[in-house]
């Protein structure tokens, strides 16, 4: 009998008895299978069973590795990780597609969500903060797809990001000046470019006497700060009631006396409430937004504003007064995340908001661009208030 067959046999016996995989019960099950193992071997079987029954199964060692940020399963024999340098295929394997499906459904249940043929996808947060996304076949052609975004308990400092190459030398001082001046900003970039990591680091620079209120679709921001209020959206229950949207959270956050209002990711009609808030004395507000380049951010926000019925002229009017800086992240061909450019905002001849490059990535430090003087002016003027 192979090790896998032995695990299956013990699991079946425990399931039939409705028993948890304790060392004593596992030892009894092993004896019933005609196997006598030493204490160390029994504990090894216990650990393997617990991992499969209540943990993340074969993925557990990957999720525990401190450098891993993402774990992706596209097939039983295709498990990938991202350690900050792009995707790497691992040697981890599942027995079959059914095992991947069972793991996805168990993790969804742990997150309090349903995942079955009637609801074949789930986007949720596990108790330890890990972001879970799973899609079942036939929506996922070929087999269950599982994506796990690991949330580390320790926030990176800006010095850590400089050391990692996310910021160029001296870039930490520039971003710290933006925070100190209480400029409103958004961090833009593609999926997995490091927007949440950078925003978490920047919020750690906020003064300890300030109150940060976070509104997030999935609670991922973990700033190292003594006064943080965290709000998270909620899906509707099986009867279709109880849904709490990001727009609801932004409106509630405004009544909670925030010194810094933060929207984890602006992705819909809540953009109108955020811009309105930043136009009514809420300085230093910030968030993230998906965009291919910093210059695309006004158009992206315009598109989001249209979902709430805000016309183009009104959106740009609010945007011009609400937002000061765009910080754009990219992932280069090697998989490294870095701040590619920092833009300031201005109006064009037609009155619409456009972005102007102020600082561009260079290995030795940010290179000054056309908007540098405007960025310096904003930091100095706001810092004097």
Q: Are residues 116 and 230 in the same domain?
A: no
134 and 13 fall within a common domain: no
Whole-angstrom Cα distance, residue 47 to residue 34?
Answer: 20
Structure tokens at 82: 């991202």
Structure tokens at 233: 């959206």
**Residue 173 backbone dihedrals phi, psi, to 5 degrees:** -70, -40
**What whole-number distance in Å separates Cα of residue 197 and Cα of residue 276?**
26
Q: Kindly state the average pLDDT of the residues 38-55.
A: 59
Per-residue burial over 282-309, b if 16 or more Cβ lie within 10 Å, else e, is bebbbbbbbbebbbbbbebbbebbeeee
Q: What is the pLDDT of residue 47?
A: 59
> Which of residues 87, 117, 151 is at a domain's end?
151
Higher pLDDT, 44 or 202: 202
Q: Which range, of 33-47, 184-198, 255-269, 358-372, averages the lowest pLDDT?
A: 33-47
What CATH number corresponds to the domain at position 71? 3.30.450.370
Q: Does residue 188 share a domain with residue 277? A: yes
Position 175 pLDDT exceeds 80:
yes
Q: Are 179 and 250 in the same domain?
A: yes
Closest CA to 273 of 242, 296, 304, 298: 304
Q: Are strands 353-360 and 260-263 parallel, antiparallel or unpaired?
A: unpaired
DSSP 234: B
Q: For position 6, what pLDDT does the model report?
A: 59
Cis peptide, bond prior to residue 67, ω within 30 of zero: no
Q: Return the percentage of the chain with pLDDT > 70, whole number.
A: 84
pLDDT of 2 over the 50 cut: no
Same structural domain for residues 181 and 326? yes
pLDDT at 339 over 90: yes
Is pLDDT of 126 > 70?
yes
User: Which domain, by its residues, includes 108?
Assistant: 56-151
Cα–Cα distance between 330 and 336 in angstroms, integer? 8
Give 134's pLDDT tier (boundaries 50, 70, 90). Answer: very high
Please identify, among 34, 54, 74, the residue that sits at the C-terminal boundary of a domain.
Answer: 54
Q: Which of 213-227, 240-254, 272-286 has the lowest mean pLDDT?
A: 272-286
For position 1, what pLDDT does the model report?
44
> Which tokens sit at 112?
């309090």
Last residue of a domain, which of 151, 167, 186?
151
Do 132 and 237 fall within a single domain?
Answer: no
Domain shared by 209 and 331, yes or no: yes
Is there a single domain that holds both residue 41 and residue 85?
no
CB-neighbour burial class of residue 197 (10 A; exposed 0-12, middle 13-18, buried 19+): buried
Task: Tell whether 174 and 30 lie within a shared domain.
Answer: no
Number of domains within the chain:
3
For residues 298 and 19, which has the higher predicted lDDT (pLDDT)? 298
On the question of pLDDT at 193 being above 80, the answer is yes
- pLDDT exceeds 60 at position 19: no
Band (pLDDT 50/70/90 cuts) for residue 237 is confident
Looking at the structure, tell me whether residues 272 and 354 fall in a common domain.
yes
Q: Do residues 100 and 89 share a domain? A: yes
Nearest-angstrom CA–CA distance, 195 and 281: 25
Q: Quickly state the pLDDT bin for 378 (edges 50, 70, 90).
A: very high
If asked whether residues 135 and 199 sit together in one domain, one would say no
pLDDT tens sequence across 136-170: 999 999 899 999 998 876 778 999 999 989 999 99
Mean pLDDT of the chain: 86
- What CATH number has the domain bearing residue 192? 3.40.50.300
Q: Side-chain half-sphere of 339: how many Cα atoms within 13 Å?
A: 31
């Amino acid at each position: 009998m192979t090790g896998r067959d032995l695990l299956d046999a013990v699991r079946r016996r425990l399931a039939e008895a409705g028993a948890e995989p304790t060392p004593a019960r596992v030892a009894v099950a092993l004896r019933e299978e005609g196997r006598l193992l030493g204490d160390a071997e029994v504990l090894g079987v216990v650990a393997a069973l617990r991992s499969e029954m209540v943990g993340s199964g074969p993925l557990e060692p990957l999720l525990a590795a401190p450098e891993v940020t993402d774990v992706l399963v596209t097939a039983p024999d295709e498990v990938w990780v991202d350690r900050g340098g792009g995707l790497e295929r691992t040697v981890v394997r599942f027995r079959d597609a059914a095992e991947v499906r069972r793991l996805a459904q168990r993790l969804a249940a742990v997150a309090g969500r349903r995942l079955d043929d009637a609801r074949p996808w789930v986007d949720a947060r596990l108790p330890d903060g890990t972001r879970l996304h799973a899609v079942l076949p036939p929506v996922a052609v070929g087999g269950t797809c599982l994506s796990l975004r690991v949330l580390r308990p320790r926030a990176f400092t800006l010095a850590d990001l400089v050391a990692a190459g996310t910021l160029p030398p001296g870039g930490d001082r520039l971003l710290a000046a933006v925070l100190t001046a209480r400029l409103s900003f958004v961090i833009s970039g593609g999926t997995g470019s490091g927007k949440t990591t950078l925003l978490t680091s920047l919020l750690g620079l906020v003064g300890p006497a300030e109150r940060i209120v976070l509104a997030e679709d999935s609670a991922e921001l973990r700033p190292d700060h003594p006064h943080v209020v965290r709000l998270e959206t909620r899906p509707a229950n099986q009867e279709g009631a109880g849904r709490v949207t990001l727009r609801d959270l932004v409106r509630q956050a405004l009544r909670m006396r925030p010194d810094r209002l933060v929207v984890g990711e602006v992705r819909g009609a809540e953009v109108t409430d955020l811009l309105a808030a930043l136009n009514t004395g809420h300085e230093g507000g910030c968030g993230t937004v998906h965009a291919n380049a910093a210059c695309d951010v006004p158009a992206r926000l315009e598109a989001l504003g249209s979902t709430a019925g805000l016309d183009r002229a009104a959106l740009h009017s609010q945007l011009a007064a609400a937002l000061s800086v765009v910080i754009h992240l990219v992932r280069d061909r090697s998989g490294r995340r870095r701040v590619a450019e920092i833009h300031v905002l201005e109006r064009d001849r037609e009155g619409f908001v456009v972005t102007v490059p102020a600082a561009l990535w260079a290995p030795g430090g940010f290179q000054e661009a056309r908007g540098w003087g405007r960025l310096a002016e904003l930091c100095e003027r706001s810092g004097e208030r």
